[in-house]
Structure 1
Amino acid sequence: MVIAGGGPAGRALARACARRGLATVLIDPAPGRRWRATYGLWADELPALPTSAVACAPSATLAFGTGPHVLDRRYLVVDNDGLRRWLDEGYDVVAGTVSGVDHGRLGSSVRLEDGRVLATGLYVDATGARPRENRYEQTAFGVVLPAEDALRLVDRPDTAVFMDWRDTESGFLYVLPFGDGTILVEETSLARKPGLPLDVLAARLRARLRGVGLTSRGREERVRIVLDLPAPRRGRTVPFGAAGALVHPATGYSVATSVRLAEPVADAVVQAWDRGPAAVASAAHRALWPSSACTVHGLRRHGLRALCGMPPELVPVFFDLFFTLPTELQRAFTSGREDVSGTTEAMSALFRLSPWQVRKHLIGWRALRRSR
């Protein structure tokens, strides 16, 4: 196995394959570089996550459309160093960058920029999704503040705010405690094509902070996530993680999904290994994209476009309705990657609850429900 990409997705798959006895090489352009992004996830999405990989488990998670909602799901903030230690097991790491891949009948040759060539039975691309002008993107700009400063924006230092649409311009505020006396406060654009420029979001956040007498004097965080990738076609290169469209089109989340899917993908690869490289790549694709996952991915992409077509003043109303849904329907839409019935029921319930001003932007949801 050769896997390109040293983030959580690539390392999770490398670990899973190595634990099943496959000689596995991970290609990382900067193996010693720390992961700087902040990862949050729902605890029920990744129950195998060890406590050593959790930086903080907020006491409560809130969301605001036009009013407050207490979310009945446990939210976790990932400890990046702990997650990496958990995933660093059993495989070799090669410092380098892939310049090309040649596929043959008996295997593949992975060429690195420095001229080295690695032979492999299966090549996996986990290098992330490249920004594209014709795709929807989620962008965000955040700053890490001392908890005593952040309390001018939030009520309690141990509470996460999943999204706050109050007092925003076509975007929301995301607040995440790290459990070490600091809090991330992030101005986020849900989705745009192309993504809202980071300097615009930075200006909005600084204006928000000035409004409560603060300056952004902590570590800054910049986020750009490609949302609207189609499910990949089968081929000899297997895309995984963000490169493989595992980002949720309507939320931007992918880490829990990628780490969780590493195990079944590795199982499929091992079971098909003796049938040759083409069969192995096909088995990996089937494990990643059964028909149910393809259907849900299409529904989520439709939901993304419906959200992006709403006037900004209606988006908080939409999320007020979403957060009044039963928790199991919220979970189905945000986390049920193969849950076709749950996803369509969540979309149908939202349509039924919506006032006509919102409903006319969701009109296709009922047709999608009937077609399934």
Structure 2
Amino acid sequence: MDELPGWLPESAIAQRIAAPTVWTKTEHRIERAYCVLSKAGLHAALAIDDATVFAQRAGRVDQHEVELADGTVISAGTVFDTRGLPTLGKRRAASAHGIFVDAETAAPMVGDGEGLLLDWRPENGAGPDEPPSFLYAVPLGDGTVIFEETSLGLRGGMPQHELRRRTLNRLAAHGIRLTGDEPHEAAHYPLDQPPPKKGAAAAIPFGSRGGMMHPCTGYSVADSLALIDTAVSAVQQGTDPVEALWPWQARAVYWMRMRGLWGLGRLTTDQSIAMFEAFFTESERGQRALLSAHDDYTALGAVLFNTVAHTWPFRWRYDLVGWTNRNRWVDYPFAAPA
């Protein structure tokens, strides 16, 4: 929650979790509040009543012009490209399958005010020779809890049917049986969208399209909201928004996080658990530097070094830094849907 800008009202927050849980080899309580945003509350907070809206597709987006599908051309001093992410292909991906379960049914795993940010307990039915995944499970503030099995860093991602199978296995391990009619969602997007280059004569990519998708977590909303004021101030002052958004410190952070993404995408389940166990014993500043800080490059460098140094057994560190098994899961043959 501490990443969100001060101007965002309380009404934009649907659910607070004072100290979310992470399961690796052991249980870790993260003494840092987490929240789920309300879609309706966020839309209301970002009201565009005084803006002119063109409800069409943008066919061309340039530095000072946007051409719509009907041929209309809109000119502007500065154009921000917030169209989201391009197609995935074989890029390193975040893949997730989420099932919405009513809170009473979900209570054996996630109680009121609780949340599982990362659950690496061996309950998803995946074998040691299969690509790893973890569970994300949080209450949404509307009487439901989302249980979302998630894969990070695989080239091309993990299929939805495999993620659903793993989610159901986890729920069954805690005695939670579903009807099969529960709503569900699918997520599948690239994690390696880079920041914009300096001096490019083009529209300014912003949000997930402009490098604000965290390569190691898949989160982008808080960072994007927090950087809006920076972008607006640069436009008002006549300076380069790209320079303001992406000083060298922030680019160094992105570069190091990308190395973390590459490491995630080649680890086994046991290696992932060992690595996250090492990470979540690091300092609060170190954890924050990896998970959310936009430009704390010194703390990030230190926590990455320490995480590798404390991952055990020693030989697993070679996989983490890419000296061995660099392409372990490339083109992995997942089983066909049942």
Q: Name the TM-score, length of structure 2 as normaliser.
A: 0.86
Note if contact 1:318-1:358 (Cα within 8 Å) is conserved in structure 2. no
- 1:160 has 2:160 as partner: no
Change (3 A) 1:213 1:340: closer
The 5 A counterparts of 1:190-339 are 190-211=152-173, 212-215=175-178, 216-233=180-197, 234-272=200-238, 283-339=240-296
Q: What value does the CA root-mean-square deviation take over the aligned residues?
A: 1.9
Q: Distance in 2 between matches of 1:83 and 1:189?
A: 27
Note if contact 1:158-1:179 (Cα within 8 Å) is conserved in structure 2. no
The code of the aligned residue for 1:268 comes to A
Note if contact 1:139-1:188 (Cα within 8 Å) is conserved in structure 2. yes
Query: Which residue is 1:277 aligned to?
Result: none
Unaligned runs of 5+ in 1: 1-42, 273-279, 366-372
1:147 to 86, 100, 103: 103
User: SS of the residue aligned with 2:182?
Assistant: coil
- Which digits, 9 at most, give the CA deviation of each residue in 1:62-117, with x for residues without a partner? 000122100011001101111111111442222011011455xxxx3321112222
Query: Which residue is 1:71 aligned to?
Result: 30
Q: How far off its partner does 1:322 sit? A: 1.0
User: SS of the residue aligned with 1:305?
Assistant: helix
Q: Distance in 2 between matches of 1:258 and 1:245?
A: 10
Q: Distance in 1 between matches of 2:210 and 2:65?
A: 20
The code of the aligned residue for 1:178 comes to L
User: SS of the residue aligned with 2:260?
Assistant: helix
Change (3 A) 1:50 1:66: same
Q: Which has the higher helix share?
A: 1
Q: Distance in 2 between matches of 1:296 and 1:213?
A: 40
Q: How far off its partner does 1:270 sit? A: 1.3
Q: How far off its partner does 1:351 sit? A: 2.4
Q: Which has the higher strand share?
A: 1
Unaligned runs of 5+ in 2: 127-131, 324-338
Query: Which residue is 1:354 aligned to?
Result: 311
- 1:44 has 2:2 as partner: yes
Between 1:124-133 and 1:356-365, the stretch displaced more is 356-365
The code of the aligned residue for 2:114 comes to T
Change (3 A) 1:99 1:77: same
Q: Distance in 2 between matches of 1:235 and 1:201?
A: 41
- Which digits, 9 at most, give the CA deviation of each residue in 1:1-49, with x for residues without a partner? xxxxxxxxxxxxxxxxxxxxxxxxxxxxxxxxxxxxxxxxxx1111413
Q: Give the paired residue count.
A: 309
Between 1:125-134 and 1:252-261, the stretch displaced more is 125-134
Note if contact 1:157-1:183 (Cα within 8 Å) is conserved in structure 2. no
- 1:186 has 2:145 as partner: no
Note if contact 2:96-2:163 (Cα within 8 Å) is conserved in structure 1. yes
Change (3 A) 1:239 1:157: same
Q: Distance in 2 between matches of 1:101 and 1:190?
A: 30
The code of the aligned residue for 2:27 comes to P
Q: Distance in 2 between matches of 1:210 and 1:306?
A: 30
Q: How far off its partner does 1:309 sit? A: 2.0
Query: Which residue is 1:128 aligned to?
Result: 84
Q: Distance in 1 between matches of 2:221 and 2:61?
A: 26
Q: Name the TM-score, length of structure 1 as normaliser.
A: 0.79
Change (3 A) 1:261 1:314: same
